[in-house]
Every structure is written in structure tokens, then in C-alpha cells.
Amino acid sequence: MTFKKASLCRHFENEVYKRVQEKKINFPVYLSAGQEYVPSSIAQLVHNKKIKPMLFGQHRGHSIYLSFGGDVTQLIDELLGMKSGCTRGMGGSLSISSKKINMFGHEGLMGSNACMGVGACFSSSKPTIVFLGDASVEEDYVLASLSWAAKKELPILFVVEDNNYAVLTKKEDRRDWKAKDVAKAFKLDSYDTQDNPENIFKILKKNIFKKPIFINVHTKRLYWHAGAGEDEKVFGDRLGKEMKYLGKRAVEIDNKIKNRIKKLWQQRLEKL
């Protein structure tokens, strides 16, 4: 199931990539191809536990939306600026929201979703997930949010999708500390891992939403920070590894999903 979610996210993003190149989409898009196993694994775990958390993502949110069961057609429509989009065609790529899956749209200030997620969780005591990037976790207000979540023992999960980049600047050129160590200093249960679903399940299975947890997951961004282009060839992305591991059946499933998404995009483009 995690594989199916990840495959859906990948093919969705590949279709967006094509539409940007064809100039069917003319505003900034933030593609999450390569990183999809992070939200897919967490969504699967949460789904298995029958929990429907509040979701606070950042600008790179397509895979979060899709992994947690957001309607595919509505996301296509959103990116095409149609009223039938999940954010009524007004949010675009960076501000994906959906009442159906409790996903709150991002307003653009990196890391502000941590403050909002912590506030929402504090006031409602509902299970909450905040997705951050490895750069947004450097913002001072994110650190204040981690501290409050720890102090109030909130049912919250902070997930850092650590793709190593802040636009084009690598982590090694920005800081000499690990996010996990900082979170630990605030007395959060804190982890550092690869984007392997088994690792993620193992870490979160027992205590998710029982106490505040911070997980930094190393992953890979396949496309530019914004728009459609390739920075450098990235090898060994997680979806490729999983396909190799799962074998022939996975390739069949992947092809089916690819064709379904392709067709859906074509159908929605005809509505323009």
C-alpha cells in the first residue's frame, strides 16, 4: 500500500513536470518527486491505526495531499486554476488545502506551519502532523514551537523531509548542527533516519500521537526547488529501490497507476 501511494505521487509529479514544460501551468510549482516515501509511509501508518490527523505542510505539499487520500482530480484542477480545485483554484501549488483530509494550506513563510500546527494541536488536543524542510527547521519560531510542543506534551509529530537543500544551498554550507540534536535538547523524542518505510514504521509505530515526536528523514529531491527542471542526476531514490526490491508485480502496479494518472490529466486538460 505504501508503494501504491508513492507511485501515485511520483507519476502525478511527472505529469505536472510535463505540463509546466508545455506551459499549461504558468505559475511556480514545487515538485516533491523523490521525496514521496516520507509522506506515503507516514500516511500508511496513520491509516493502519485509523487516525485522521490535522496536516500542516509547507510549499512542497502535493505528495502529502495525495498520500493522505486527497482527491487526485481536485489537485489537478487546483494546479490548472479551476474553481473545482481543492483550494478552489486560488491556492496553487504552494497552498494545498483540503477539508476532506484535514490539510491546512501553507501561506508562504517557511516554517510558519509549525507555529500554526502547534497552536491548533494545543487548542484542540487533536493528533497533528507538521511537515517541514531541513531549512525551515532553522527558523527561530520553529524552535519555539518545538519547545512548546515538548513542554505541553502535545499529540504531535514533526517530520523533516530532509532533502539537503534550501533552494540551492546545501546543509553543510548552512549549519554544523543536526535537527535531531536540537529537538532532543527541547526534550522531544527525536530520530534521524533514511526514507525507508520500514525504518519509519519502526520508529513511529508505538508512540505516534502518544507524545510529541520529531523525525528527520533523509530523502532526495529529483527536480528543481521550483518549476520543472533537473538540478543534477540523482541516483538511488527510494521509489527506484523499492521497485527493485518488490519485483515484477510492483512494475505492473506502477504502470497501471502511471496510465491512470496520465489519462486523468488528459481528461482535465480537455475541460480548460
- Binding ligand TPP by CB under 6 A: which of 66, 101, 121, 135? 135
The stretch among 82-90, 159-167, 201-209, 240-248 that binds ligand TPP (CB under 6 A) is: 159-167
Residues, the chain: 272
At residue 225, the 3 state secondary structure works out as coil
**93: contact with ligand TPP by CB under 6 A:** no
**66, 100 contact by CB (below 8 A):** no
CB of 162 to ligand TPP, least distance (A): 8
Nearer CB in complex with ligand TPP: 97/163: 163
The answer to whether residue 204 forms part of the interface with ligand TPP (CB under 6 A) is no
Identity of the residue numbered 229: G
Q: Closer CB to ligand TPP, residue 166 or residue 261?
A: 166
> Given strand 213-218, what is the order of strands in its sheet?
103-104, 54-56, 128-133, 156-162, 213-218, 189-194
* Residue from 60, 62, 220, 238 binding ligand TPP (CB under 6 A): 60
Within 10 A of 244 (CB to CB), how many other CB atoms are there? Answer: 10
Separation between Cα atoms, residue 70 and residue 68, nearest integer Å:
6
> Do residues 217 and 161 touch, judged by C-beta distance below 8 A?
yes
CA–CA separation, 119 and 103 (whole Å): 15
Q: Which is nearer to ligand TPP, 109 or 246 (CB)?
A: 109
- Shortest Å, Cβ 252 to ligand TPP: 31
The CB-nearest residue to ligand TPP is 133
Per-residue interface string for the shown chain with ligand TPP, residues 102-121, x marking contact by CB under 6 A: ------xxx-----------
Q: Which residues bind ligand TPP (CB under 6 A)?
A: 59-60, 108-110, 133-136, 163, 165-167, 225
